[in-house]
């Protein structure tokens, strides 16, 4: 497969499938399957976000000769804010009816997309929006990256330095200062390397400098990469995981992404493009928002908890996607952004 031609498509194959797998990993973990590394699913989302946002910025620059910061923010607002703020409002209201009053700090953290630092500084408490920490990190990334992209888009060295700096900073905090796992897990300053690796992947692919050895994978090679990822995440010490592990995992994820795109026509990976899998990937954002609700409802029903949780989550996400997200997404074409 010609990777350059594939990446020029409006729909890049396999990515929706990877999103589907990632959100299902998160649901399984939060649903009680503790041997499934739920945070690995979030790391995949981080790498994909960095990759896709950077790739789309490159495509815009190639097509028009410039990058519109205004259009970028309008697109992100239309894509993210409506579903998120409806979820936030309903969560506050639902907890209020049940007698759970949110403290002001939690409300403000949700409204202003700093739930990650609320979690980091409060020991990651089990609030109704605790899982929104990753959305806060992504929003902080969206706020900064367009400007950094314009300044450093031709300098992959900046991204390499950023990745190494975050790795060293996280290692210093956790390994030498005894900072809590809650902080190094949730904070933007300790997790930006995952997003930066996605940005670096897009930069290398756009410049044609991605290692050629990795552009001709076979199924056994791709399975080896997946195996290394499983070993890195699941068969290592806590010290490794919260220092070097986050970075190594993201690097392996970026390779898996490229290999999945290249091998998506093979029998082993074709399922990533199955219509059902693609649909789950399409609604993965609202599924992530509402999966805690789905799990809670399934536990009350006492019938096949995990399958029921997934079905309820898909139904809630479908409602969010068609009733809230789609109407706002249509404004993108109307406003030509």
Query: For residues 168 and 24, is the Cβ–Cβ distance under 8 A?
Result: no
pLDDT score at 11:
84
Find the angle CA(280)-CA(285)-CA(288) to the nearest 5 degrees: 90
pLDDT score at 218:
85
Q: What is the pLDDT of residues 89-110, one digit of tens each?
A: 999 999 999 999 999 999 999 9
pLDDT score at 46:
98
User: Distance between CA atoms of 110 and 118, rounded to whole angstroms?
Assistant: 9
Q: What is the pLDDT of residues 120-169, one digit of tens each?
A: 999 999 999 999 999 999 999 999 999 999 998 878 899 999 999 999 99
Query: For residues 245 and 236, is the Cβ–Cβ distance under 8 A?
Result: yes
User: Distance between CA atoms of 28 and 240, rounded to whole angstroms?
Assistant: 24
Query: For residues 255 and 232, is the Cβ–Cβ distance under 8 A?
Result: no
User: Distance between CA atoms of 139 and 63, rounded to whole angstroms?
Assistant: 25
Extract the residue ranges of the chain whose pLDDT is less than 70.
1-2
Query: For residues 36 and 28, is the Cβ–Cβ distance under 8 A?
Result: yes
User: Distance between CA atoms of 170 and 179, rounded to whole angstroms?
Assistant: 9
pLDDT score at 1:
62
What Å distances lie between residue 184 and 50, 166, 187, 246, CA to CA?
A: 19, 10, 6, 10
Q: Does the predicted TM-score (pTM) go above 0.85?
A: yes
pLDDT score at 306:
94
Exposure of 10 in the CB half-sphere (CA atoms within 13 A): 0
pLDDT score at 212:
77
Residue 171 corresponds to which tokens in the numbers above? 């290692």
pLDDT score at 281:
97
pLDDT score at 92:
96
Query: Phi first, then psi: what are they for 283, rounded to 5°?
Result: -100, 20
């Amino acid at each position: 497969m010609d990777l350059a031609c594939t990446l020029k498509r409006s729909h890049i194959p396999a990515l929706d499938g990877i999103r589907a797998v990632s959100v299902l990993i998160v649901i399984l973990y939060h649903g009680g399957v503790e041997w499934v590394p739920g945070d690995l699913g979030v790391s995949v989302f981080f790498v994909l976000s960095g990759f896709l946002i950077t790739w789309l910025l490159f495509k815009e620059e190639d097509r028009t000769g410039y990058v519109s910061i205004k259009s970028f923010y309008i697109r992100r607002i239309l894509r993210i804010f409506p579903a998120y703020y409806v979820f936030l409002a309903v969560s506050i209201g639902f907890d209020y009816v049940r007698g759970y009053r949110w403290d002001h700090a939690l409300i403000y953290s949700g409204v202003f997309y700093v739930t990650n630092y609320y979690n980091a500084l409060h020991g990651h408490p089990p609030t109704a929006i605790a899982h929104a920490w990753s959305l806060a990190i992504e929003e902080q990334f969206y706020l900064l990256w367009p400007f950094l992209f314009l300044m450093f888009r031709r300098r992959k060295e900046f991204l390499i330095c950023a990745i190494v700096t975050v790795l060293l900073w996280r290692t210093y905090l956790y390994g030498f200062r005894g900072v809590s796992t809650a902080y190094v897990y949730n904070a933007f300053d300790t997790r930006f390397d995952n997003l930066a690796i996605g940005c670096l992947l897009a930069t290398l692919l756009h410049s044609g400098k991605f290692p050629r050895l990795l552009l001709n994978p076979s199924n056994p090679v791709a399975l080896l990469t997946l195996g290394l990822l499983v070993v890195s995440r699941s068969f290592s010490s806590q010290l490794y995981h919260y220092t070097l592990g986050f970075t190594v995992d993201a690097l392996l994820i970026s390779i898996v992404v490229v290999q999945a795109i290249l091998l998506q026509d093979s029998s082993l990976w074709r399922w990533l493009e199955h219509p059902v899998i693609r649909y789950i990937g399409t609604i993965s954002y609202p599924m992530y928002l509402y999966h805690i609700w789905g799990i809670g409802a399934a536990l009350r029903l006492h019938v096949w908890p995990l399958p029921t949780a997934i079905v309820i989550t898909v139904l809630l996400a479908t409602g969010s996607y068609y009733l809230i997200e789609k109407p706002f997404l249509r404004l993108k074409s109307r406003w030509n952004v």
